[in-house]
Amino acid sequence: MSQVADRSSVVIMNTYGSRPRTFVRGDGIVLFDDAGKSYLDCLGGLAVVAVGHANPAVTRAVADQVAVLAHTSNLFHTEPQVELAEKLVAISGLDRVFFANCGATANEAAIKLARRYGQALSGPDRYRIVSLNDSFHGRTLATLAATGQPAKQATFAPLPVGFHQVPGGDIDAMAEAVDESVAAVMLEVVQGEGGVVSWSADYLRDVRSLCDEAGTLLIIDDVQAGMGRTGNWFSWQDVNIKPDIASVAKALANGLPVGACLATAEVAAAFQPGDHASTFGGGPVVCAAALATIGEIEERGLLTNARARGQQLTHGLMALDGVSGVRGKGLLLAAVLDDDLAPEVVAAALDNGLILNAVRPNAIRWAPPLSITASEVVDAVAIFDASLSGVRTASDGN
């Protein structure tokens, strides 16, 4: 164990299990550990580092802003916040923005807004939130209640009431669940933590119709799949539906902590002064970082690149022995293995200089920077192939 790992085990709460490396520096898709070894970061800091590590444009924007004004509180306006909101409105087709600090707090805002709107519209009985099995919406108590993973919830009972899950992709189960007591259906178009599982356009359009018929809002949690990862700015744009409320966070500011809850003007009007707030949300530094990140995606054509590199990566992975399929969209993909070897393959890949993670015993997530190049895809697939065949040979021998 490195010195940092030793010290960490003394003072950091053990919520993350063992952490196998200490990183000290990044450059584009590459990370360097404390022994000087380099890695291709094809996890992108969990779908966060959209335009590469130590991106010069983002670095400059952050440095310039922090040198001038880092914080005012939300009692006052700052221009970077308004400019980022204008940009998010322009690319999303939604109308209003509330800034939070991360995915969970963006989703908390979404849930509170849906309840506020639902109760104003239909009275105090419209508060329930229907989400999907295997979903992931965050670790705060309300977002954990919305998360369809009983194993993550069990030891924190009692959770806030009014949350209910149904199987994803099953429109009959959704139809049964959605009635006048439901403030919102909340779902991910691509379930990232749930194994990189996506739903058909037909299912999503049918859910949208069910919501419209029942006067229920549709919240799309685009914290992981949004901000260009699927090859569009937002995942719902791939399937031509529009949510009433959406949340984004991970890739929004290339690693600086910010989240945003977006909504239509009609729904957003339910929030009155004093209803919701955040001390840090949408501060000028993170907003400057987000604007620079969005600027990089636009100037470098990274939505197109996400689609093209995603296809290249899919074809490259499909051709490998031991890979039975590839799930996901754009640059949010999972390689599905023939066998339950994902943790072993991830560990071998790390040793070989490639960062990925296991989202299922048989599925490995890829979420590289949207700026990954064609030759970096070739290199990453070659390392993955060597790692996979090494683990398969070793496990055959047992």
Residues annotated as part of the active site: 136, 221, 250
- Comparing every residue's Cβ against ligand PLP, the nearest one is 103
Beta bridge partners of 336: 325, 363
Task: Return the closest-CA partner of residue 367 out of 47, 39, 26.
Answer: 47
Q: Which is nearer to ligand PLP, 61 or 227 (CB)?
A: 227
Taking the complex as a whole, the smallest distance from the CB of residue 360 to ligand PLP amounts, in Å, to 15
Beta bridge partners of 25: 32
Contact with ligand PLP (CB under 6 A): which of 145, 249, 291, 335?
249
**312/318 Cα distance (integer angstroms):** 10
Contacts of 350 (CB under 8 A, 6+ apart): 20, 21, 39
Determine the interface stretch with ligand PLP among 19-27, 99-107, 311-319, 381-389 (rule: CB under 6 A): 99-107
Cα angle 286, 292, 293 (rounded to 5 degrees) comes to 85
Q: Which of 118, 138, 148, 168 binds ligand PLP (CB under 6 A)?
A: 138
CB of residue 147 to ligand PLP, shortest distance in Å: 8
How far is it, in rounded angstroms, from Cα 279 to Cα 281? 6
> Whose Cβ is closer to ligand PLP: residue 65's or residue 224's?
224
Among 220, 223, 292, 323, binds ligand PLP (CB under 6 A): 223
Alpha helices by DSSP H, the chain: 3-11, 44-47, 56-68, 79-92, 103-122, 141-146, 150-153, 171-177, 201-214, 265-268, 284-299, 302-318, 342-351, 374-397
SS3 266: helix
Nearest approach in angstroms of CB 104 to ligand PLP is: 3
- Cα–Cα distance for residue pair 180/213, rounded to 1 Å: 10
Q: SS3 of 280, please?
A: coil
CA 107 to chain centre: 12
Contact 59, 66 (CB under 8 A): no
Contact indicator for 195, 361 with CB cutoff of 8 Å: no
The residue (of 249 and 261) whose beta carbon lies closer to ligand PLP is: 249
**115 vs 250 by CB, closer to ligand PLP:** 250
Taking the least distance from each CB to ligand PLP, the nearer of 48 and 341 is: 48
Q: Does 103 bind ligand PLP (CB under 6 A)?
A: yes
The binding track of 172-211 with respect to ligand PLP, each residue x by CB under 6 A or -, is ----------------x---xx------------------
User: Could you tell me which stretch among 63-71, 173-181, 221-229, 275-283 binds ligand PLP (CB under 6 A)?
Assistant: 221-229
At closest approach, how far in Å is the CB of 31 from ligand PLP? 20
Amino acid identity at 195: G
Selected from 92, 165, 224, 230, the binder of ligand PLP by CB under 6 A is: 224
Give the distance, in angstroms, between the CA of residue 172 and the centroid of all CA atoms in the same chain.
27
Number of amino acids touching ligand PLP (CB under 6 A): 15
Give residues in contact with ligand PLP (CB under 6 A): 102-104, 107, 136-138, 188, 192-193, 221, 223-224, 249-250
